[in-house]
Amino acid sequence: MSQTVQLYDRLRAAILALDLAPGERLTERGLESEFEASRTPVRAALMRLDSEGLVQREGRGWIVSPIDTVEIGALAELREAVESAAIRLSVERASDADVQAIAALLDATRPARDEEQGVRAGGDFHVELSRLSGNALLADAVRNAMTRLARTRWLEVRTAEAREQAWREHREIIEAVAARDAERASALIASHIRGTNERLLAFLAAERQRLRGHGVAIVQAHTGGSQPSGRPRRMPQ
Q: What is the pTM of this model?
A: 0.76
Give residue limits of the domains in the chain.
3-66, 69-213
pLDDT of residue 177: 98
Question: Which CATH architecture is the domain 3-66 placed in?
Answer: Orthogonal Bundle (1.10)
- The reply to whether CATH 3.40.190.10 applies to domain 69-213 is no
Most confident of 75-89, 101-115, 201-215: 75-89
- pLDDT bin (cut points 50, 70, 90) of residue 228 is very low
- pLDDT bin (cut points 50, 70, 90) of residue 237 is very low
pLDDT of residue 222: 47
Higher pLDDT pick, 101 / 208: 101
pLDDT of residue 118: 64
pLDDT of residue 100: 97
Cross-strand partners of 56? 63
Whether 3-66 and 69-213 share one fold: the answer is no
pLDDT of residue 205: 84
User: pLDDT exceeding 90 applies to what percent of the chain?
Assistant: 49
For residues 79 and 120, what is the distance between their CA atoms, to the nearest angstrom?
A: 17
Most confident of 32-36, 133-137, 162-166, 203-207: 133-137
What are the residues whose beta carbons fall under 8 Å from the beta carbon of 75, sequence distance 6 or more? 145, 148, 149
CA nearest 235: which of 4, 13, 3, 1?
13
Lowest-confidence range among 65-74, 119-128, 220-229?
220-229
Most confident of 28-32, 58-62, 174-178, 215-219: 174-178
Q: Which amino acid is at 188?
A: L
